[in-house]
């Protein structure tokens, strides 16, 4: 199906490649071939097609973390955002180089949980709730377990590792929260960073009611219910926050038999109004399972929606938000940057290497490896 272009006027189709883009793509392919097995290019689903076409492996942040951990390639180019490259650096050996094509490709959600704010909140919540820090708890204590979404800085993952906590992704959030509650004790709770929506949606799907949840915003007069089960850091994804129930209603009016699938970073009302919700890998499988001719509105990043549309010619796939733009930081990975990185690698340089300090690596690795060791 040909997808109508979003209002932000960026052409997401592969057909957009003119002579210049084709020359860049050919040069990247040549350089890749020269590097052979020394090179692995990882691509996140939210990358544009002109990047994805060069990726050896494509996946969401969970799958890419696993693939990076298993890889033996000397140079791993991570076509995603900074926190993903940090996780790859933590999980790979000291001899491997993890490279981000554009060092400015960060994540606004990850930036919403700065470590100094987290440390202040941690002390405050422990004091007010009477819960123990798992790092110093005595047997029988009820604890506060810190859980951070993969979409967070290495310093926050380190914090979680040092305080008996763990990392999660949108693929495994429920299993990870269960792991945390099993360790927290009957009266224990979870402090969930940085995406309040993923935390709330996952908590609700586990049967935790809204009156047992609290949102924590640094510098504000935060309230905790007496028997709080999950404290949600106030962060959010600026891309997924744009989806609304009104958009779902409008789609259903046009396509009463149609289906809506959204990412759990969307607000609770949107997740509840959709037919299904899950990680990018889940959304891919959900779409692939539908009957030919089905109309599907997808609430996630536009590059992925456009790619699903071009891969399923027998379905009618559209983005839930008609005016949506791509994740602006994912979009900073341009093929020109990828080509430049490869030219420099072939010349013997190691540009844009993402290096997580050893002092931060230790706790972050514990938190990441705890996640990877849990079978989903
Ligand atoms: S889509 Fe949202 S969470 Fe993902 S990198 Fe972009 S801003 Fe961050």
19-32 average pLDDT score: 95
Q: How far away, in angstroms, is 301 Cα from ligand 1 center?
A: 9
Q: How far away, in angstroms, is 108 Cα from ligand 1 center?
A: 7
Question: Does the beta carbon of 238 sit less than 6 angstroms from any atom of ligand 1?
Answer: yes
Backbone angles phi, psi at 44, to 5 degrees: -85, 150
Top CATH class, 14-106+329-356? alpha beta
> What residues does CATH 3.40.50.10800 cover in the chain?
14-106+329-356, 110-237, 240-319
pTM of the model: 0.92
User: Does residue 5 register a pLDDT over 90?
Assistant: no
CA distance to 158, 164, 324, per residue, from 296 (Å): 39, 41, 16
Backbone angles phi, psi at 114, to 5 degrees: -80, 140
pLDDT number for residue 62: 78
User: Which atom of ligand 1 lies at the shortest distance from residue 328's CA?
Assistant: 6
User: Which atom of ligand 1 lies at the shortest distance from residue 46's CA?
Assistant: 1
59-69 average pLDDT score: 85
User: Does residue 244 register a pLDDT over 60?
Assistant: yes
pLDDT number for residue 69: 86
Question: Does the beta carbon of 241 sit less than 6 angstroms from any atom of ligand 1?
Answer: no
- Structure tokens of 265? 């970073």
Question: Does the beta carbon of 248 sit less than 6 angstroms from any atom of ligand 1?
Answer: no
Question: CA 294, CA 324: separation in Å to the nearest integer?
Answer: 22
CATH code for residues 110-237: 3.40.50.10800
Strands 166-168 and 144-149: parallel
User: Which atom of ligand 1 lies at the shortest distance from residue 329's CA?
Assistant: 6
Question: Does the beta carbon of 329 sit less than 6 angstroms from any atom of ligand 1?
Answer: yes
User: Does residue 331 register a pLDDT over 90?
Assistant: yes
Instruction: Give Dmax over CA atoms of the chain in angstroms.
Output: 67
User: Does residue 15 register a pLDDT over 70?
Assistant: no
CA distance to 243, 263, 298, per residue, from 240 (Å): 6, 7, 11
Q: How far away, in angstroms, is 22 Cα from ligand 1 center?
A: 28
Question: Does the beta carbon of 239 sit less than 6 angstroms from any atom of ligand 1?
Answer: yes
Question: CA 305, CA 303: separation in Å to the nearest integer?
Answer: 5
Question: Does the beta carbon of 195 sit less than 6 angstroms from any atom of ligand 1?
Answer: no
Question: Does the beta carbon of 108 sit less than 6 angstroms from any atom of ligand 1?
Answer: yes
User: Does residue 65 register a pLDDT over 90?
Assistant: no
Listed in sequence order, the residues at least 6 apart from 162 whose beta carbon sits closer than 8 Å to its beta carbon are 135, 363, 366
Query: Closest residue (by CA) to atom 6 of ligand 1?
Result: 327
Question: Does the beta carbon of 13 sit less than 6 angstroms from any atom of ligand 1?
Answer: no
Query: Closest residue (by CA) to atom 1 of ligand 1?
Result: 327
Query: Closest residue (by CA) to atom 5 of ligand 1?
Result: 107
Judge contact between 190 and 144, C-beta under 8 A: yes
User: Does residue 289 register a pLDDT over 60?
Assistant: yes
User: Does residue 336 register a pLDDT over 50?
Assistant: yes
Question: Does the beta carbon of 151 sit less than 6 angstroms from any atom of ligand 1?
Answer: yes
Binning pLDDT at 50, 70 and 90, where does residue 16 land?
low
User: Does residue 68 register a pLDDT over 90?
Assistant: no
CATH 3.50.50.60 fits 240-319, yes or no: no
Phi-psi region of 348 (alpha: psi -120 to 50; beta: other; left: phi over 0): left
Binning pLDDT at 50, 70 and 90, where does residue 189 land?
very high
Question: Does the beta carbon of 237 sit less than 6 angstroms from any atom of ligand 1?
Answer: yes
Q: What is the mean pLDDT of the chain?
A: 93
pLDDT number for residue 376: 61
pLDDT digits (tens, 9 = 90+) for 294-328: 999 999 999 999 999 999 999 999 999 987 668 99
Listed in sequence order, the residues at least 6 apart from 221 whose beta carbon sits closer than 8 Å to its beta carbon are none
Question: Does the beta carbon of 111 sit less than 6 angstroms from any atom of ligand 1?
Answer: no
72-78 average pLDDT score: 96
14 vs 79: which has the higher pLDDT: 79
Q: What is the 3-state secondary structure (H, E, C) of the chain?
A: CCCCCCCCCCCCCHHHCCHHHHHHHHHHHHHHHHHHHHEEEEEECCCCHHHHCCCCEEECHHHHHHHHHHCCCCEEEEECCHHHHHHHHHHCCCCCEEECCCCCCCCHHHHCCCHHHHHHHHHHHHHHHCCECCCCCCCCCCEEEEEEECCCCHHHHHHHHHCCCEEECCCCHHHHHHHHHHHHCCCCEEEEECEHHHHHHHHHHCCCCHHHEEEECCCCCCCCCCCCCEEEECECCCCHHHCCHHHHHHHHHHCCCCEEEECCCCCHHHHHHCCEECCHHHHHHHHHCCCCCCEEEEECCHHHHHHHHHHCCCCEEEECCCCCCCCCCHHHCCHHHHHHHHHHHHCCCCCCECCCCHHHHHHHHHHHHHHHHCCC
User: Which atom of ligand 1 lies at the shortest distance from residue 195's CA?
Assistant: 3
66 vs 340: which has the higher pLDDT: 340
User: Does residue 145 register a pLDDT over 90?
Assistant: yes
User: Which atom of ligand 1 lies at the shortest distance from residue 107's CA?
Assistant: 8
Sign of CA dihedral 367, 373, 179, 286: positive
Binning pLDDT at 50, 70 and 90, where does residue 371 land?
very high
pLDDT number for residue 8: 38
To test ligand 1's pocket by mutation, which of 238, 266, 325 has the most ligand atoms within 8 angstroms of CB? 238
User: Does residue 133 register a pLDDT over 50?
Assistant: yes
User: Does residue 6 register a pLDDT over 60?
Assistant: no
pLDDT number for residue 375: 62
Strands 75-79 and 97-99: parallel
Query: Closest residue (by CA) to atom 8 of ligand 1?
Result: 107
To test ligand 1's pocket by mutation, which of 330, 331, 333 has the most ligand atoms within 8 angstroms of CB? 330
User: Does residue 11 register a pLDDT over 80?
Assistant: no
Alpha carbon of residue 272 to chain centroid: 20
110 vs 171: which has the higher pLDDT: 110
């Amino acid at each position: 199906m040909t997808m109508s272009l979003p209002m932000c006027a960026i052409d997401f189709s592969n057909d957009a490649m003119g002579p210049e883009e084709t020359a860049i793509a050919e040069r990247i392919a040549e350089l890749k071939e020269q590097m052979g097995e020394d090179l692995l290019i990882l691509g996140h689903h939210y990358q544009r097609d002109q990047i994805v076409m060069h990726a050896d492996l494509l996946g969401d942040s969970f799958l890419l973390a696993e693939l990076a951990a298993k890889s033996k390639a000397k140079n791993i180019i991570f076509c995603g955002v900074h926190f993903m490259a940090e996780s790859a650096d933590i999980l790979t050996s000291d001899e491997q180089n993890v490279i981000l094509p554009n060092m400015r490709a960060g994540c606004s959600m990850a930036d919403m949980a700065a470590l100094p704010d987290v440390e202040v909140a941690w002390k405050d919540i422990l004091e007010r709730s009477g819960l123990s820090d798992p790092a110093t708890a005595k047997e029988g204590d009820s604890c506060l377990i810190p859980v951070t979404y993969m979409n967070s800085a290495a310093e926050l993952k380190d914090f979680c590792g040092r305080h008996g906590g763990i990392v999660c992704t949108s693929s495994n959030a429920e299993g990870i929260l269960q792991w945390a509650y099993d360790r927290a004790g009957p009266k224990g709770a979870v402090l969930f960073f940085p995406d309040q929506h993923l935390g709330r949606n996952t908590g609700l799907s586990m049967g935790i009611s809204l009156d047992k949840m609290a949102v924590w915003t640094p510098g504000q007069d935060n309230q905790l219910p007496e028997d709080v089960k999950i404290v949600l850091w106030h962060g959010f994804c600026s891309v997924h926050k744009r989806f609304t129930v009104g958009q779902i209603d409008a789609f259903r009016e046009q396509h009463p038999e149609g289906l809506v699938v959204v990412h759990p970073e969307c607000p609770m009302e949107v997740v509840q109004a959709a037919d299904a919700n899950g990680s990018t890998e889940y959304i891919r499988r959900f779409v692939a399972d539908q009957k030919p001719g089905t109309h599907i509105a997808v609430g996630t990043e536009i590059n992925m929606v456009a790619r699903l549309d071009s891969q399923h010619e027998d379905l009618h796939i559209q983005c839930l938000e008609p005016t949506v733009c791509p994740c602006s930081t994912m979009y900073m990975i341009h093929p020109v940057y990828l080509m430049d990185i490869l030219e420099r690698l072939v010349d013997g340089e190691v540009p844009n290497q993402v290096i997580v300090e050893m002092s931060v690596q230790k706790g972050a690795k514990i938190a990441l490896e705890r996640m990877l060791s849990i079978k989903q």
